[in-house]
Amino acid sequence: MYKCGPRKLLHSRSIDSVTTMKNVVIGLQKENSYYHALAMQLVWVIYGDFHTYVIEAVAIIMGQFSSIGCIGVFRMAPLFKGAGYAIVVINIICTIYYSVIIAYPLMFLKHIIFQAKLPWDSCDNSWNTDHCIDVHQVMHHNFTEREDLRTPADEFFHFEILRISKGIEELGDIVWPLFWSLAMAWALVYICIINGIKTVGVGKVVYFTATFPYLILFVLFVRGITLPGAAKGIIFYIKPEWLRLLDLKVWADAAVQIFFSLGPGWGGIVNMASYNSFRNNAKGDAILIPIVNCSTSIFAGFVVFSVLGYLSEQTGIPVATVATSGPGLAFVIYPQAIAMLPLSRIWATLFFLMLFLLGLDTVFVQIEAIISSVLDELPAVRPYKYLVTLISCLAMFSFSIILFIFFTTIIFIRTVRYNNVIYPSWAVAVGWLSCALSLICIPLHMLKKVFFSSGKAKDNFCNALKADFWLPVEEEERSAYEDFKRYQQDTNL
């Protein structure tokens, strides 16, 4: 008999399930990236969603059937339990990464609220350098000859928010405003998940954090399409660049983004589905979630590129030059465009509040996947869930201070460059190490099950492929399932 007892099912309605699982696929990556053409995105939506639908359907069924989290679910084939540990390691690394990112919007909001004007609207601040140039004067300078020119938003983000050092070898001091923003972010996370899925899902916290960003996105969309030059940005977004479509790297980047945003294999879907009713419509959820994900991606593209078109119109810089991806889009380019709008403080507040809520949703899912896995594997600590949650949040907060967020982004890249700084080989190696930490769990557990268990290796291998109590955890559903299996066997006879 498997050691983990039943959970209390808390998703009383299908909408609870869909809303919590939506947080797995809708996060800050929607605002930190863009596709070179809408046509390419649509192709990958059709191709990628077909495959991820199958994967997500399997993940939902696994979690919903077993009512258990990322590690325990592999009792259906104990040989692959290492994949469960790998999922937990991935979530630990990515939680550290995302928790740092959600501290940035809090820093922006602090400056918006407590300063008389947007601090990235001009070059007359203490952190600005001689290379800062007012965006309204851009048309009077040659950026081809002067690559060292920087916008006020660029310098604000790098020199005031990040206080970035000259290179990865130079650690620098703790940025105390960012430290306290990070502490506030983790305090909010702890308050929201203190009772686990009870507060996140059924407590309706997620209803606000998951739906309010859509309202903000719609408001920004309406404002964006009414701006002069918006059509220029939208045309750039929807018009295919046929030459770029021949570049395999562009297609690879789009594919990575699709699969990354849908989150198959991250464990969040399995964990959230484990709280579903046993008879929940898993197939419907698996269809709806990719549709919501890709619809959000396409809609967010119109929101972003309408404003980028306005920025291009005001500065005279082509949209292709203005458009970028990564943190620069959300924390440099878009804020700079917002600063040029009438009532810029209102739009900036809405935008960064949306970013914070999106990031908060992502951290909810990731930290809950970690905590649930610990409680499932160690039932003795379940009465101390509050303490486990507190320790987990404090540990993630501590790691967030120590580790650089760049370490988890160095994947499949030979040369790593950020802010015109090329990172050394040892930094790339650390990035690969962060990737290997999760992958190594899978073969290590296989070796343990096959070669370090009592008995012959061949027998251990065969036994490890057999399910270990692969039945519904709830007694009523388990009895119904066993009756159904017996009926099937009698019918086959």
Q: What is the pLDDT along the chain (493 residues), one digit of tens a residue?
A: 445 555 555 565 666 667 777 666 666 655 544 545 566 666 666 666 666 667 778 888 888 888 888 888 888 888 888 988 888 888 888 888 888 888 999 999 999 999 888 999 888 888 998 888 887 666 555 554 556 678 898 889 988 888 887 766 666 677 888 889 999 999 988 888 887 666 655 456 777 887 888 999 999 999 999 999 999 999 988 887 777 767 777 666 666 766 677 777 778 888 888 888 888 888 888 888 878 877 888 888 899 889 989 988 888 888 887 776 667 778 888 898 898 888 899 999 999 999 998 888 888 888 888 888 888 888 888 888 888 888 988 888 887 766 544 443 333 344 566 556 666 777 767 777 777 777 788 888 888 888 888 888 888 888 877 777 777 877 788 888 888 778 777 776 6
The Cα 35–Cα 13 span in angstroms is: 35
Place of tokens 């594997």: 377
Ordered alpha helix ranges (H), 226-324: 230-238, 248-262, 268-273, 282-315, 319-322
In a domain, 159, yes or no: yes
Structure tokens at 301: 């593209």
In a domain, 472, yes or no: no
246 marked as part of a ligand binding site: no
Structure tokens at 146: 């002067």
Q: What are phi and psi of 411, to 5 degrees?
A: -135, 130
**pTM of the predicted protein model:** 0.80
In a domain, 465, yes or no: no
The Cα 465–Cα 377 span in angstroms is: 19
Of residues 256, 259, 269, 254, the one with CA closest to residue 49:
259
154 marked as part of a ligand binding site: no
In a domain, 278, yes or no: yes
Residue 14 near residue 284, CB atoms below 8 Å: yes
The enclosing H or E element of 436 equals helix 425-439
Structure tokens at 232: 């220029």
Residue 465 near residue 75, CB atoms below 8 Å: no
358 marked as part of a ligand binding site: yes
In a domain, 4, yes or no: no
293 marked as part of a ligand binding site: yes
In a domain, 457, yes or no: no
In a domain, 3, yes or no: no
Q: Report how many domains make up the chain.
A: 1
The Cα 167–Cα 48 span in angstroms is: 37
- Domain that includes residue 318, residue range: 17-452
314: which DSSP letter?
H
In a domain, 109, yes or no: yes
The Cα 206–Cα 199 span in angstroms is: 8
